[in-house]
Structure 1
Amino acid sequence: MNLTLLGVRGSTAAPGADFVRYGGHTSCVAVSAPGEPPALVLDAGTGLRRLGTLLDGRPFRGDVVLTHLHWDHVQGLPFSGAVDHPESRVRLHVPVPDAGADPLEVLRRAMSPPHFPIGPDELLGEWEFVPLLPGPVALDDDRFAVSARRIRHKGGVAYGLRVAEPGGVQAAYLPDHLLLDGGTDGAAIADGVDLLLHDGQFVASEQLLATAYGHTTVPAALGYADHCRVGRVVLTHHHPDRTDAALDELAAAFPETPGGRPVAFAVQGTTLAVSPKRNVSQ
């Protein structure tokens, strides 16, 4: 399983010379089998605009699963030629507050006039809007299995996602995650995965901000990774003011978790090959 990082920023995109190496687009991850184009996308931030580069100009056909509906996770939907295309076929999984909610109407609250010129049902192509609820996620492509679990994040329903190859490797994606109560919330979604792609928006000195906005500090995220016994950690959802130089400093300061698990800081445009985890003593 390959995870291509199309967007690694949180809150808002970060353009400019100081953000070139790690990238400035907001959250979006394309999931694919080796040698195959992606048919599964996690989140639809501005990084979704880059999806076409993985499809050689072809329209996207598959599932897009949203962790939550904040702007930095949905803003790419009307700006990606791969999904907003006459020949696209998209099944969009929309977090909803309860089983009776209409996912199209929930999404329309932020994407319709006067807030935006068109509604989600005016996107080009064939679209299906389905509610995302806790538990297994029904995908069109049986090469992967996805499950969703509610996690803490300020401002609406938010999910952590676990992606697995049947009988193979597994990854967890928690880009917005408030860790409380000893840092074990949501552990079931990440327990034992080979790769954890996790919220690392704030540093330890910003703990009050992290808690206020429903996010995690880097040290807390690494402790969570050890608690979940993951194989390796990639921190994403970088603060929009965190420059390349500042991220370099963090990468040098945190090469591994306290338990010895490898740590990396997400770089837009890179592809992470998920491989079986090595044994770690803690």
Structure 2
Amino acid sequence: LESAESKMKFLSSLPEWIYGTIGGNTPCIELRSKSDELFLLDCGTGLREFSVAGRQPESGHYNIFLSHFHWDHIQGFPFFGQSFSPNSKIDIYTPFANAEEYLERQSSLPYFPINACFESVKNQLSFHLMQEGTPIEIGGLKIECHRMFHPGDSYSYSFEEDGKRFIYSTDVELQTSDFDKNCSRNKFFENADVLVFDSQYTNPEAAKKVNWGHNSFSSAIDFASNWNIKNLYFFHHEPNYDDKKLDSILDAGNNYKKYKSNRNLNLYISREGQEIQL
């Protein structure tokens, strides 16, 4: 590798996983509407990074949608620095009626000092109960929720604006009924432009972990193909898989989809810092 050209040629031949990391934070996705309304999907450890380095709304207004209350989806909330500011207004949406109680118990003595407990942030928070089958509208987006199979339940969210639809669907273990096209509630997924979907396991691991509430990448492809999804993003990665393993799953997925009817389906691995425009 004597010349710059030969070095660049060598580097370009290396697999993508060598160049950087997919990331290790637990779930938190930032979504913005055409009018720049901010939505945060779950409050995993990624929320702290957003709090420190993310582009904050000038209005101080945040919309948070919680899929469920398992620890990896809320553990960033006590470290969301903006929640301590009296200038912040934080609207929290979830189908779980006891959401406020859950978050209060999370940030309590003796786990947090008195000045970091729920009492210090509750004046900035408003809680809104969502119901499946009843859409709401915020900032020009039509938003719906959809219950999926997961221990204790988990809810997917659909966000639609100008005919484009983004679906966030984490912590899902697909059931045969989810593929039923005669079931009207399943139309929730049909023809979505982007589906961020639980694809935690390989098939052998999924077979060992029935009823754990997560999904294999291949069944995620089956599901996306069944509902004519345009772009599928593998999400909620298995913590024991390294970047090389996750990269190999994407390769395996692209090989697997060749045998599906929806060959126009695009597959991606969700990565920290990744941006999608619709």
TM-score (norm 2): 0.80
Q: Structure 1 residues 116-125 or 227-236, which shifts more?
A: 116-125
* Paired residues for 1:1-282 under 5 Å: 21-33=21-33, 37=36, 39-52=38-51, 53-55=53-55, 60-96=60-96, 101-117=97-113, 118-123=116-121, 126-136=124-134, 138=136, 141-154=138-151, 156-165=152-161, 167-181=162-176, 183-184=178-179, 187-255=186-254, 257=257, 258=260, 259-260=262-263, 261-274=265-278
SS in 2 for 1:55: coil
Compare relative contact order (CA 8 Å, sep 6+) and give the higher one, 1 or 2: 1
Unaligned runs of 5+ in 2: 1-17
Q: Distance in 1 between matches of 2:94 and 2:237?
A: 23
Contact 1:196-1:234 at 8 Å conserved across structures: yes
Q: Which has the larger radius of gyration?
A: 2
Give the whole-Å Cα distance in 1 for the aligned partners of 2:253 and 2:128.
39
Q: Which deviations, in whole Å up to 9, do the C-alpha atoms of 1:91-143 show, x marking residues without a partner?
A: 012332xxxx443124334342345445434327621122233234545x322
The 3-state SS of whatever aligns with 1:45 is: coil
Q: Is the 8 A contact 1:200 1:235 kept in 2?
A: yes
Equivalent-residue separation in structure 1 for 2:19 and 2:69 (angstroms): 25
SS of 1:64's equivalent?
strand
The structural deviation recorded for 1:243 is: 0.6
Contact 1:19/1:243 (<8 A) preserved: no
Secondary structure in 2 matching 1:255: helix
Percent of paired sites with the same residue: 25
CA distance in 2, matches of 1:219, 1:46: 27
CA distance in 2, matches of 1:106, 1:129: 12
What secondary structure, in the 3-state scheme, does the structure 2 residue paired with 1:179 have? coil
Structural RMSD (CA): 2.7
Q: How many residues align?
A: 250
More helix by share: 2
Residues 28 and 73, structure 1, Cα contact 8 Å, conserved in 2: yes
Shift of 1:153: 0.5
Q: Which runs of 5+ in 1 are unaligned?
A: 1-17, 275-282
For residue 199 of structure 1, report the CA deviation from its aligned partner: 0.2
Indicate if the aligned counterparts of 2:47 and 2:80 stay in contact, CA closer than 8 A.
yes
Q: What is the Cα deviation at residue 171 of structure 1?
A: 1.1
User: C-alpha distance in 1, partners of 2:50/2:78?
Assistant: 13
